[in-house]
Chains A and B, each alone.
Chain A
Amino acid sequence: MNIRIDALVPSFLEGKIPTGNLWAKQIALDDTGYYLINANSGKGKSTLLSYLFGVRKDYQGTIHFNNKNLREFNIDDWADWRSKKISMVFQELKLFPQLTALQNVLMKNELTKHFSLEQTRELFSRLQILEFLDTPCQQMSLGQQQRVAIIRALHQPFECILLDEPFSHLDNENTGLALNLILEHCKIQKAMMIMSSLGSNHGFNFTEIFNLAS
């Protein structure tokens, strides 16, 4: 898929002079590129990703997915895209706290039927949280929950994966494991990746890096 961003200005920057190399610019994101959105807190990383996921619409300018304006997406289009074409790991994770790690993942897999239970366990094992499979998420550490959220996001076909500070609670070792897993699945699915970060590129060579502030 391709994404075209034209003269995008978020509501909090209206009437101000936009900074960085993304806001108010013309940008085209390619099929299989890996993109990093870089900025300090409060510069609009999460805002941008939530525009791309259809959660927020308070912007000027246009965003096109495959030449279709996001403003023309209706709720059925979004349901369709979110189950088949675009996946997201939220900064605030958005897990169901009372459900176990496995139940949280199955909540997605029951819709997409993407992996067998064996494959799901394999992913948990890769990210070293297999022993927490049946632990309610509210009893897990933030780092463990973050990995559950990543695994959940991989349980669907996608052409684009949005990752909002996905490794903020992970140590370097686990960050590496998680990043490799994500990249592996991006390759399998021939998908693009858009990741936000507080500045670190996690030792990975991104196709392009966007800064939201100069």
Chain B
Amino acid sequence: MIQNLLPGKHGKLQLWIVMFGSFIGLSLVMISTQLYLDFKNFLTVKSDFLSAQFITVNKKVNVLNTLLNSKSTFSAEEIETLSKMPQVKQVAGFVSNRFRLKTSIQFAGQQLYSDLFFESVPDEYLDIQPDRWEWDSVEGIIPIILPADYLNLYNFGFAPGQGLPQLTPDMISMATLQIQINGEGKERVFKGRIVGFSHRINSILVPMDFMQYANQNFSDAPKLEPSRLIVASDNPADPALMKYFDEQGYELNNELLKNSKMQSLMRVILTIVLFLSAIIIALSLTGFVQFSRLLINKKEYEIRILYYLGYTHRFIASKYLIFYLRITSIVFLFSLISLFAVQYFFGDWMAYKGFEFESTIKLEAICSGFALFAILLITGAWDIFRVTKKLAKS
């Protein structure tokens, strides 16, 4: 019988507005949390150093340096000092070839020749771990990692103009390079195979054990100091580290700092979005409270009579609480759906745009929404309880 009276059907328009507003607020919070976490994973290059990021460092080359013939390489002391910086986890020098090398490739019906250089870094500094990253001394096959930019340059810069086909990493890995190595009066021809593309290191990389083997066997030049260093750091954008680099006249690969800059940009955007969502949610909370008070006020006469009939304020409040739980749950449910939809379509869109974008629904995103839903529910329920109780007392 009581459902004929409570909670009543007033303020339909207001209810829709409040529900829509809180839906936007809840969705914004969940989606921004989700996207932030997705981007964080995307921008943080996976590595054995866990959270570490990598930068390459070299000394500035300028006219004065060249004229004075000052060193552009790093001494052991300089490396030692750098590795003791608190922001620095680990440092390694690039090892260069001290032998001459030439490559030729049969490609699109032409034989292409080129002089070449190789560099090596310890394996743990690589951002990719290709399957065939093993120097095969018996077959004489050298695995090679190229900068990812090279492939892009070829595919989007060179190939279209030359009427050449675009290539995928898989296609390239099938091609074999002829690599001729000279030195110490010896010469040997190896086979080269491109096994991967690195986003992190802008160089032509070969395995360290091959480099050591070849430098020993094809060169009598003394071991060179490295001219480039790769640095693993938790926070390469740390101002103290930047200042140190500046003082020492070191130059770094700014491109690789882009990610950490994008991360801070993301953090700023997220903060703004969260701030906006907070306002929206505060407004919808007020809206919900006002709305449930409107419903209660419209039924004040009926509620008073029910109290005179002996109904408890808990019973009266429960009628409103059930209704309130229902509308807020609907809002939460729709916000969840919007989160899943955005996550699904955004992942697809990023894949379509050519990013290796891994996205799974983040528990944190759902939890953030649920926490707000709980706040909405508890505050609203508390107010309903308070207002109905006040009515019972008066």
Contact = CB atoms under 8 A, between A and B. Distances in A.
Interface of A: 53, 55, 75-76, 78-84, 88, 90, 94-96, 99, 103, 106-108, 110-112, 152, 156
B99 to A, nearest CB: 94
Contact of A75 (B1, B306, B392): B392
Contacts, number: 57
B308 A103 contact: no
A117 to B, nearest CB: 13
Contact of A82 (B1, B5, B308, B313): B308
Interface of B: 1-2, 4-5, 302, 304-313, 389, 392-393
A152 B1 CA distance: 14
Contact of B308 (A53, A75, A80, A110): A53
B389 A75 contact: yes
Per CB-CB distance, the 3 closest pairs between chain A and chain B, nearest first, are A83-B310, A82-B310, A79-B312
B305 A94 contact: yes
A111 B308 contact: no
Contacts of A88: 308
A108 B309 contact: yes
21 contacts: A75-B392, A76-B312, A79-B311, A80-B310, A81-B310, A82-B308, A82-B309, A83-B311, A84-B310, A90-B308, A99-B1, A99-B5, A103-B1, A107-B2, A107-B309, A108-B310, A110-B1, A110-B2, A111-B310, A111-B311, A156-B310
B302 A96 contact: yes
Given A75-B389, A75-B393, A96 B5 contact: yes
Nearest to A76: B312
The listed residue with most B CB atoms (<10 A of its CB), out of A76, A88, A108, A152, is A108
A99 B310 contact: no
Contacts of B307: 75, 78-79, 82
A83 B309 contact: yes
A141 B302 CA distance: 20
Contacts of A110: 1-2
Contacts of A90: 308
B308 A55 contact: yes
Nearest to A83: B310
A95 B305 CA distance: 8
B313 A79 contact: yes
B310 A75 contact: no
Nearest to A105: B1
Contacts of B313: 75, 79
A76 to B, nearest CB: 6
Contacts of A156: 310
A111 B1 CA distance: 10
A106 B1 contact: yes
A156 B2 CA distance: 17
Contacts of B309: 82-83, 107-108, 111, 152
A204 to B, nearest CB: 26
Given A79-B313, A110-B1, 19 more contacts: A75-B307, A75-B312, A75-B389, A75-B393, A79-B310, A79-B312, A82-B307, A82-B308, A82-B310, A83-B310, A96-B302, A96-B305, A99-B1, A99-B4, A99-B5, A107-B1, A107-B5, A108-B310, A111-B309
B324 to A, nearest CB: 21
A10 B195 CA distance: 98
A108 B151 CA distance: 82
